[in-house]
């Protein structure tokens, strides 16, 4: 593909200036003021210097601290002219320091002429700022914008051994600053580990590095860098940076916030790409156009997930608007991520400050105009596909008959639900959807596909559209079908991906500007005003390939600069250009433009290798400077007025760890970190690395939230680092962190001698990555002793064991967390108030897993588990259930119509693992024809109806047991719950639907036997009903804690809260 | 040249003293981008009180959010034509709109309400709101609101953040950012809801989007632990907790001595603040100290109004203590979403909220707080004149009612109008951006001048749009 960067070199045909005051001002005067003065002297300036604003005639005539800036008609008396001519040593503008220097004579002449002519300031169109650009025009000034200049080929000044240091020293010398001394080896080890792999070094690793560094520091750094870059942990750290900019999340982000169960394939792809040092140009090409460039390649397919990460509203009937929103989002994110330009400003009008035209926005959007979402592509190998097909064939042959019967029931239901889903759309969309396949225009096909997702949504819950006998038959047939599951191949890994809707793109226009005609794909006009040259493919327009190739052309002035600057920012806390995703004029110009260009060129020459770039940066003295210490403090005094923000890199900054580093470091420190790689995401309660935890857009983990993890709605170029009291509360009082403190104490006790001083020292070594001083050890011992005395003096408390609570998704408040295999039992002593006839049991639950065998995950039971004893139990069937897995079931052990009976009443309501539900069973015991009515409601989607099933039963009496009433287990007989149990209510009657917790605001009524809410406000264990059936958590109550041990846990907890743990030098 | 006003780095001690145990820290550039918001900008505490752009009429806001979309044509915007045409299809002259559930062609549904004019201003208010009606002369009803989202998620998102797309700071966060807080011991942006269901979109409705988390809203609940993790953990005594805190402070102070990062001091301060909050928050939410008369004014002595009444009373206690922005959700989890059975649905919800809301207005007034407290009422949209499922109404963002009271608002006036069936706003249309701009205007903030630099670009609360409806102040 040929690029026309040449246009940059063409001289700009300047507009005629002269007597026409307006044009003279607009074309000549304002560009100078705007470019040279506004940074410090306008309403847009961060800080207005000298009280002077030059962005209006009024501002100039009023002047600043030293008086009016101009006397119209008399340049010689105008301070502005004096200043720019450098006539007065105390008033030189722009200041002759940093990047500033005296204006060229031509510019001085223009401003002089302008004031001589009366300093006219033509009115701006209403509503536009003075700095706004004229519409549709690229000016001379625009073409000087640093970001679009071809990358320079600067040679490093000969000032340091390392090219980066040379560039940095040049600026420091010019500013009269000195670099900080090298960081201590321990500090450096901690810095390099956290920076490259996101985890702290172990004490042994620190010692190893420190010793190596004493012998040969440069070599030790180089070797450690290579070792860490080769570690799989590296990709897990740096992929997260990319996920930030790629606005990666695993849920839809609207009301239902539906989980995207296969989104993680993209996350794994990014981790792999970083670990294998995939060249960045290829990485970009795969994400934008993997389907076109490497069809069938698993990585390339997965990479196009980038085009799918935007949020999606599953029930939006306005698909026209929705599709526009989707394409806009993609355009915005592409501008941010790859171009480093704030394209979205140009969606409604020319960018007000940067030379990006409104047309340019739509030229960029046009690359995505033919996009189509693909959900049925797999990331499998050819061999896997073959095996799958063969196995599937066998299964299909064996099940032909059953499937035909199922189809006979399902087909009409599908047809009904399709019809009712389509009818909800506006008529024009309905018409598109009803057209025969193959007759739609590309645009109609896109809207059809988008709208038809709502039909698929209905089909996925087809059982709710089947009624009566058919439903029973269908359940039975599906059960029969599942007998052949062993023959069924495991599904291929399907990944969210993208393609073009066909070889022809739908036309795209700028809204309300039909005069511009159909917009062809193209790049920002200022870079290349011709339309992109396309090579169409059989089923694709080739548009995205053209974009990807243009972006990865080695001479593209933006791409390499943008990614190199991002990497620099992650290494140093701030970039060489301040705004990593917007190189526009509102941001500062880069602090070290030559270094940026040198790095960008080097990066491209190194085969777009990020690992080589990391190595280059980490091995520089600039990176290895100290962040703390007396010498830095001295240096800081010198820099306080010249460069307080450390823009010139005269030291390394002390920075807070980011959310993932905090969580991973805590788990690494306690020794609990699970380094399993890849695969589906885990809950935040699991000790996997944070990059592998589930990212729901609307339900955020409280720890990651308070440490500023991005929401995943927009590309995030740089994270906030905030300090709030909520953060302090979470880290000081939260249940999760307290459990980690215990784990850290246990680890230290396990791994160190019994000497308390040595234990304290070990804990500090692990947490801070350095050898503690003698004073620090003494301080620790004093604290532990004092704390231990406090604990010892405490009155013995009769508090029951503390169970973990967690936020219940889609509900407020907390529920109790039970894990399979745990010993906690939530027990209520038998009481006469417990039901012996009709009853209703209700609960809000999340089930995390099924038993692999036929055991039941128990929600509640009043049974000791012995067939000889009466009782009942309510739960969810296991994988080997004789009925069906995942089914809500009530087991009754009592008197049947024919004598003693023990029966399992299956509801036919299936729960999905990981989803929050309200479930209930309302039992008419004596009158078995009224049956047992089961309820299940998926709380993650308000639009889904409550599922209700009534089932007949045989047991009619005698179900009251003599033992305890238990939540989350079948008495002492196991069948334990795994997940969350929130509000549970037991009633002595068979409640009608309208009286259920789900439907009625009334929480207590006469028949309420117990209502357990697990809220700390009301008491986690207390019964909110007046019967006082409080829970006893009957785990073997640990003996009165060893005060010394408890104090040591407190010590570990303080360490995990300490700034030295949470900040990096 | 005058020297830059950048604070030198060695002012940690000063900072601690000045910020009174400052609440947080963030890049100074973020603060400075607050443009001309007064001298307090140099202060590093992001929640220090700041001067507004111009003389404010209101100091704080109580936003009563009826989540799910209350019907304007059954509450504040009577449409006689609707009852005349009931059962028929909407006449073509009204034009087409896209509705969430595709109910555009369903027959028009009559309103069963009795309507009367109330107060000196003669506001039309239906019999669902007898108590609010008695406060008619404090209320300015805006009948011409317009929003962009046809579904709850987009609607609630926009009414909170200005955009139907997620990711932007909520209005409360902007106000926090612009004005800071009068009380550093309580969260300055507080959210409550009437039932445990999740508000549509969850906590991001009161999130700070791309702004630092220090500006986000905090969920509080009545009861002994109003804020998550506010209490000492089980089994940890106050002395033990204090012992840990003191030791932490020793470690952190030592650590901060040789380092150059004001965040380190802010973090030390944040622990102290957290524990001052621990002392003040339970007292702030302790409504047992209110008199019986006050409690009954809010309907706390009645089963149906006790919950929302308690929330309204809490809201008053919070604004009294300088909390800047309080948002109360009625019907959390889209309970106002009456796609069917609107009579029983709205009857119940108005029954739960009408008396408490009126009680709030009266109580604020009798305490002299109404002048400085802006009360805002409404949902994410209204409802259609067309029926759904025979006895319900679909979503209607093209014309709906919100009202404001107090905070400098001239009561007893009706602003704007919808067409004869209440489908679209036709006079003095106030888009959500205009509505937000109006709220900001009453707080002394010019919506387009309150800017925050994000990714190098100046962002503002109303997405470069929105004009305050200044006439609302009379």
User: Which three-class secondary structure string do you get for A282-305?
Assistant: HHHHHHHHHHHHCCCCHHHHHHHH
3-state secondary structure at position B330: strand
Helices (H), B76-150: 80-85, 130-134
Beta-carbon pairs below 8 A across chains A and B? 289
* Contacting residues of B for A802, CB less than 8 Å apart: 234-235
DSSP 8-state secondary structure symbol assigned to residue A304 = G
A43 chain-B contacts, CB cut-off 8 A? 35
CB of A1040 less than 8 A from some CB of B = no
Place of tokens 């011709």: A530
Residues of A in contact with B235 (CB under 8 A): 797, 799, 802
Asked whether B76 and B403 are in contact (CB, 8 A), the reply is yes
How far away is chain A from the Cα of B41, in angstroms, using its nearest Cα?
A: 11
* Residue A710, pLDDT score: 93
Distance from CA of B406 to the nearest CA of A (A): 31
Nearest CB to A733 within list B29, B187, B229: B229
Per-window interface: A 210-269 vs B, CB < 8 A: 253-255, 257
- Nearest CB neighbour to A779, from listed B24, B197, B250: B250
- B458:A44 CB<8 A: yes
Task: Please indicate whether, in this complex, the C-beta atoms of A654 and B260 are within 8 angstroms of each other.
Answer: yes
Interacting residues of A541 by C-beta distance below 8 A, sequence separation 6+ = A370, A500, A502, A503, A504, A505, A534
Name the closest residue on chain B to residue A812, using Cα atoms. Answer: B196
Q: In this predicted structure, what is the pLDDT of residue A9?
A: 30
DSSP-assigned states of every residue in A143-155: GG-GGGSPPP-PP
- Report CB contact under 8 Å: A723, B218: no
Element (H, E) at A899: strand A899-910
What's the rounded Cα separation, in Å, for the pair B313 and A732? Answer: 31
* pLDDT at site A297: 93
Burial grade of B60 (CB within 10 A; 0-12, 13-18, 19 or more):
buried
pLDDT tens profile A687-721: 999 999 999 999 889 899 999 999 999 999 999 88
Residues 6+ apart with CB under 8 A from A321: none
DSSP A739-779: HHHHHHHHHHHHHS-S-HHHHHHHHHHHHHSSPPPHHHHHH
Rounded to the nearest 5 degrees, what angle is found at the Cα of B330, between the Cα atoms of B326 and B331? 145
Query: In B94-170, which ranges are continuous DSSP H helix?
Result: 130-134, 152-161
DSSP string, A594-644: HHHHHHHHHHHHTTS-HHHHHHHHHTSTTTTB-SSSHHHHHHHHHHTTT-T
Taking the Cβ of residue A1038 and every Cβ of chain B, the question of whether any pair is shorter than 8 Å is answered with no
**For B231, nearest residue in chain A (alpha carbons):** A733
Question: Inter-chain contact A1050–B211, Cβ cutoff 8 Å?
Answer: no
Q: Which of A207, A241, A199 is nearest to A337 (CA)?
A: A241
Count Cβ neighbours within 10 Å for each residue of B93-112 and write b for 16 or more, e otherwise: eeeebbbbbbbbebbbbbbe
Please state the φ and ψ torsions of residue A23, each to the nearest 5 degrees: -65, -40
Spans of chain B below 70 pLDDT:
1-44, 222-225
Nearest to A315 among B23, B151, B274 (CB): B151
pLDDT score for A43: 65
Minimal Cα–Cα distance from A940 to chain B, Å?
9
Residues near B285 by beta carbon (within 8 Å), at least 6 away in sequence: B220, B222, B223, B226, B314, B317
Contacts of A641 in chain B (CB under 8 A): 3-4, 8
Q: What's the gap in Å between the CA of A914 and the closest CA on chain B?
A: 17
Query: Does A424 contact B195 at a Cβ distance shorter than 8 Å?
Result: no
Residues of B in contact with A44 (CB under 8 A): 458
Q: Which residue of A has its CA nearest to B47?
A: A724
* Residue located via tokens 């002429």: A113
Nearest CA in chain B to A918: B197
Best mutation site among B97, B102, B308, B311 for testing chain A: the one with the most A CBs within 10 Å?
B102
Determine the residue of chain B that is closest to A640 in CA distance. B8
Helix axes A610-618, A593-605, angle to 10 degrees: 130
Question: Looking at residue A1007, what is its pLDDT?
Answer: 86
Q: Which of B340, B353, B457 to mutate to test the interface with A (most CBs of A within 10 A)?
A: B457
What SS3 state is found at A934? strand
Length of chain B: 474
Asked if B5's CB is within 8 angstroms of A724's CB, the reply is no
Low-confidence residues of chain A, pLDDT below 70? 1-22, 43-48, 51, 97-100, 123-134, 795-803, 820-825, 1016-1021, 1027-1028, 1032-1041
Query: Given an 8 Å threshold on Cβ–Cβ distance, is B200 in contact with A1050?
Result: no
Mutation target to probe the A interface, by most A beta carbons within 10 A, among B3, B98, B105 is B98
* CA pair distance B274, B239, nearest whole angstrom: 16
Judge: A783–B243 Cβ closer than 8 Å, yes or no.
Answer: yes
Residue B288, pLDDT score: 80
What was the pLDDT predicted at A821?
56
Contact B457 A582 (CB under 8 A): yes
Q: Do A578 and B456 touch (CB under 8 A)?
A: yes
Would you call A698 an interface residue with chain B, using a CB distance cutoff of 8 Å? yes
B394 three-state secondary structure? strand
Contacts of A790 in chain B (CB under 8 A): 237, 239-240, 243
From chain B, the residues in CB contact with A244 under 8 A are: none
- Closest partner CB to B248 (pick from A46, A655, A1057): A1057
Interchain CB contact of A711 with B (< 8 Å): yes
- The pLDDT value given to residue B206: 94
Residue A1033 φ then ψ, to 5°: -85, 105
Best of B16, B105, B147, B153 to disrupt the A interface (most A CBs within 10 Å) is B153
How far A412 CA sits from the closest chain B CA (Å)?
Answer: 23
Cβ atoms < 10 Å from Cβ of A347: 16
Sequence length of chain A is: 1065
> Does A798 lie at the interface with B, CB-CB under 8 angstroms?
no
User: CA-based angle A1028:A1033:A1035, to the nearest 5?
Assistant: 155
Q: What is the DSSP secondary-structure string of B165-179?
A: SS-SPPHHHHHHHHH
- ipTM of this model? 0.84
Cβ-defined contact of B244 to A325 (cutoff 8 Å): no
Q: Does A799 touch chain B (CB under 8 A)?
A: yes
Q: How far apart are CA B377 and CA B63, in angstroms?
A: 6
* Number of other residues whose CB lies within 10 A of the CB of residue A80: 26
Cα-based distances in Å from A94 to A33, A41, A51, A60, B93: 11, 11, 15, 16, 63
Please give the Cα distance from A129 to A114 (Å, whole number): 21
Asked if the Cβ–Cβ distance from A700 to B203 is below 8 Å, we say yes
Whole-model pTM: value is 0.76
Give pLDDT, residue A881: 84
Q: Residue B32: its chain A contacts at CB < 8 A?
A: 46-47
Handedness of CA A649, A654, A659, A663 (dihedral sign): positive
Q: Would you tell me which residues 347-406 of chain A have a C-beta closer than 8 angstroms to some C-beta of chain B?
A: none
- Closest residue in B to A802 (Cα–Cα): B234
Quote the minimal CA–CA distance from A629 to chain B in Å.
5
């Amino acid at each position: 593909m040929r690029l026309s960067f040449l246009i940059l070199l063409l001289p700009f045909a300047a507009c005629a200036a002269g007597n026409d005051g307006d044009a003279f001002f607009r074309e000549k005067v304002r560009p100078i003021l705007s470019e040279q003065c506004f940074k410090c002297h306008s309403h847009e300036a961060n800080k207005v210097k000298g009280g002077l604003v030059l962005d209006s005639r009024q501002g100039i005539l009023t002047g600043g601290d030293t008086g009016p800036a101009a006397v119209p008609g008399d340049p010689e008396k105008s301070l502005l002219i004096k200043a720019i001519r450098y006539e007065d040593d105390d008033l030189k503008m722009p200041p002759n320091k940093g990047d500033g220097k005296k204006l060229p004579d031509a510019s001085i002449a223009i401003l002089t002429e302008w004031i001589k002519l009366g300093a006219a300031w033509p009115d701006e169109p209403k509503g536009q700022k003075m700095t706004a650009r004229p519409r549709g025009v690229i000016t001379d000034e625009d073409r000087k914008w640093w970001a679009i200049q071809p990358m320079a080929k600067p040679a490093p000044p000969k000032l340091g051994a390392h090219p980066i240091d040379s560039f940095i020293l040049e600026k420091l010398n010019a500013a009269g600053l000195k670099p900080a001394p090298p960081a201590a080896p321990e500090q450096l080890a901690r810095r390099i580990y956290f920076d490259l792999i996101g985890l702290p070094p172990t004490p042994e690793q620190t010692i190893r590095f420190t010793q190596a560094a004493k012998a040969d520091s440069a070599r030790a750094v180089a070797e450690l860098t290579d070792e860490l870059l080769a570690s799989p942990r590296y990709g897990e750290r740096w992929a997260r940076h990319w996920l930030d900019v790629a606005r990666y999340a695993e849920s839809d982000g609207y009301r239902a916030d539906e989980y995207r169960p296969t989104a993680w394939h993209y996350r794994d792809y990014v981790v792999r790409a970083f670990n294998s040092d995939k060249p960045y140009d290829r990485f970009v090409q795969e994400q934008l156009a993997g389907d076109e460039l490497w069809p069938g390649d698993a990585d390339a397919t997965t990479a196009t997930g980038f085009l799918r990460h935007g949020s999606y509203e599953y029930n939006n009937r306005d698909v026209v608007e929705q599709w526009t929103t989707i394409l806009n989002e993609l355009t915005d994110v592409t501008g941010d991520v790859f171009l480093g330009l704030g394209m979205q400003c140009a969606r409604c009008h020319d960018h007000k400050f940067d030379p990006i035209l409104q047309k340019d926005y739509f030229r960029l959007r046009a690359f995505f105009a033919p996009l189509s979402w693909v959900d049925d592509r797999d990331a499998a190998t050819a061999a896997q596909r073959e095996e799958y097909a063969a196995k599937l064939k066998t299964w299909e042959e064996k099940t032909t008959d059953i499937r035909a019967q199922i189809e006979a029931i399902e087909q009409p239901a599908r047809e009904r639900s399709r019809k009712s889903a389509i009818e909800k759309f506006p008529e024009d969309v309905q018409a598109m959807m009803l057209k025969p396949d193959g007759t739609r225009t590309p645009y109609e096909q896109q809207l059809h596909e988008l709208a038809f997702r709502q039909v698929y949504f209905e089909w996925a819950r087809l059982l709710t559209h089947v009624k009566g006998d058919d439903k029973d038959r269908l359940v039975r047939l599906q059960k029969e079908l599942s007998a052949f599951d062993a023959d069924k191949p495991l599904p291929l890994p399907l990944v969210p991906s993208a393609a073009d809707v066909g070889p022809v793109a739908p036309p795209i226009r700028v809204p309300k500007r039909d005069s511009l005609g159909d917009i062809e794909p193209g790049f920002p006009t200022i870079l290349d005003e011709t339309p992109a040259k396309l090579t169409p493919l059989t089923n694709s327009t080739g548009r995205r390939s053209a974009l990807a190739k243009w972006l990865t052309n080695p001479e593209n002035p933006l791409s390499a600069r943008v990614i190199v600057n991002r990497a620099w920012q992650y290494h140093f806390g701030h970039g060489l250009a301040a705004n990593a995703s917007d190189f526009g004029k509102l941001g500062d110009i880069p602090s070290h433009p030559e270094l940026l260009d040198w790095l960008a060129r080097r990066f491209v020459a190194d085969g777009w290798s990020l690992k080589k770039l990391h190595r280059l940066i980490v091995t520089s003295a600039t990176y290895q400077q100290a962040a703390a210490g007396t010498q830095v403090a001295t240096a800081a005094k010198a820099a306080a007025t010249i460069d307080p923000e450390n823009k010139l890199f005269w030291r390394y900054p002390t920075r807070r760890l980011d959310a993932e580093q905090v969580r991973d470091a805590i788990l690494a420190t306690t020794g609990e970190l699970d380094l399993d790689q890849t695969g589906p995401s885990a809950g935040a309660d699991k000790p996997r690395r944070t990059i592998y935890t589930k990212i729901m857009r609307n339900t955020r983990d409280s720890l990651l939230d308070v440490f500023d993890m991005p929401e995943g709605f927009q590309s995030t170029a740089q994270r906030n680092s905030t300090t709030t009291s909520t953060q302090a509360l979470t880290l000081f009082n939260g249940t999760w962190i307290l459990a980690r403190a215990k784990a850290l104490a246990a680890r230290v006790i396990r791994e160190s001698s019994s000497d308390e001083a040595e234990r304290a020292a070990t804990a500090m070594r692990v947490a801070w990555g350095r050898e503690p001083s003698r004073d620090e050890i003494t301080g620790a011992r004093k604290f532990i002793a004092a704390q231990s005395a406090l604990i010892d003096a405490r009155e013995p408390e009769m508090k029951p064991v503390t169970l973990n609570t967690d936020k219940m998704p889609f509900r407020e408040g907390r529920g109790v967390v039970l894990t399979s295999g745990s010993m906690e039992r939530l027990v209520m002593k038998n009481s006469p108030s417990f039901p012996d006839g009709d009853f209703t049991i209700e609960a809000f639950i999340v089930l995390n897993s099924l038993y692999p065998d036929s055991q039941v995950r128990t929600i509640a039971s009043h049974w000791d588990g012995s067939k000889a004893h009466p009782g009942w139990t309510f739960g969810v069937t296991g994988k080997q259930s004789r009925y069906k897995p995942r089914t809500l079931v009530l087991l009754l052990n009592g008197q049947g119509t024919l004598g003693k009976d023990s029966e399992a009443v299956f509801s036919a309501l299936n729960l999905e693992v990981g989803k929050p539900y309200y479930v209930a069973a309302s039992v008419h015991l004596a009158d078995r024809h009224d049956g047992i009515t089961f309820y299940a409601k998926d709380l993650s989607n308000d639009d889904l109806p409550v599922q209700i099933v009534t089932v007949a039963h045989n047991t009619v009496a005698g179900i009251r047991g003599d033992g305890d009433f238990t939540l989350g287990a079948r008495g002492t007989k196991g069948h334990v719950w795994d997940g969350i149990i929130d509000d549970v209510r037991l009633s002595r009657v068979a409640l009608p639907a309208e009286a259920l917790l789900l439907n009625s605001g009334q929480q207590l009524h006469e028949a309420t036997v117990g209502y357990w809410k697990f809220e700390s406000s009301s008491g986690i264990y207390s019964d909110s009903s007046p019967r006082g059936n409080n829970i006893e958590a009957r785990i073997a109550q640990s003996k009165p804690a060893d005060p010394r041990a408890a104090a040591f846990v407190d010590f570990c907890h303080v360490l995990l809260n300490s700034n030295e743990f949470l900040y990096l030098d | 040249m005058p020297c830059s006003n950048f604070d030198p780095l060695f002012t940690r001690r000063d900072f601690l003293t000045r910020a009174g145990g400052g609440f947080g820290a963030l890049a100074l550039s973020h603060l400075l981008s607050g443009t001309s918001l007064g001298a307090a900008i140099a202060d590093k505490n992001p929640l220090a009180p700041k001067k507004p752009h111009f003389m404010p009429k209101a100091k704080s806001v109580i936003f009563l959010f009826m989540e799910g979309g209350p019907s304007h044509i059954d509450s504040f915007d009577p449409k006689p034509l609707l009852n005349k045409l009931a059962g028929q299809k909407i006449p073509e002259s009204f034009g087409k709109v896209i509705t969430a559930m595709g109910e555009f062609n369903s027959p028009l549904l009559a309103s069963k309400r009795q309507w009367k004019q109330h107060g000196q201003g003669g506001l039309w208010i239906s019999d669902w709101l007898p108590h609010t009606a008695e406060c008619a002369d404090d209320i300015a009803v805006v009948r011409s609101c317009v929003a962009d989202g046809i579904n709850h998620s987009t609607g609630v998102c926009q009414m909170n953040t200005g955009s139907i797309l997620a990711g932007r700071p909520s209005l409360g966060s902007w106000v926090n950012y612009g004005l800071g807080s009068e009380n550093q011991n309580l969260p300055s942006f507080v959210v409550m809801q009437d039932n445990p269901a999740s508000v549509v979109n969850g906590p991001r409705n009161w999130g700070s989007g791309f702004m630092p988390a220090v500006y986000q809203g905090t969920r509080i609940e009545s009861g002994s632990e109003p804020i998550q993790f506010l209490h000492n953990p089980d089994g940890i005594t106050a002395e033990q907790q204090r012992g840990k805190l003191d030791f932490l402070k020793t470690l952190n102070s030592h650590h901060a001595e040789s380092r150059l990062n004001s965040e380190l001091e802010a973090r030390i301060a944040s622990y102290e603040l957290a524990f001052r909050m621990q002392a003040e928050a339970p007292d702030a939410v302790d409504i047992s100290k209110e008199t019986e008369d006050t409690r009954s004014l809010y309907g706390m002595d009645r089963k149906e109004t006790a919950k929302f009444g308690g929330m309204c009373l809490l809201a008053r206690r919070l604004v009294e203590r300088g909390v800047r922005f309080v948002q109360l959700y009625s019907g959390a989890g889209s309970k106002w979403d009456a796609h069917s059975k609107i009579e029983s649905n709205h009857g119940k919800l108005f029954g739960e909220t009408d008396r408490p809301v009126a009680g709030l207005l009266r109580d604020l007034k009798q305490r002299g707080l109404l002048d400085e407290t802006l009360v805002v009422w409404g949902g994410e949209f209204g409802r259609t004149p067309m029926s759904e499922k025979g006895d319900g109404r679909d979503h209607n963002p093209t014309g709906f009612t919100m009202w404001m009271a107090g905070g400098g608002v001239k009561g007893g006036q009706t602003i704007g109008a919808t067409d004869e069936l209440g489908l679209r706003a036709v006079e003095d249309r106030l888009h959500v951006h205009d509505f937000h701009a109006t709220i900001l205007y009453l707080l002394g903030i010019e919506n387009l001048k309150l800017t925050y630099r994000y990714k190098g670009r100046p962002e503002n609360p109303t997405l470069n749009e929105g004009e305050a409806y200044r006439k609302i102040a009379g």
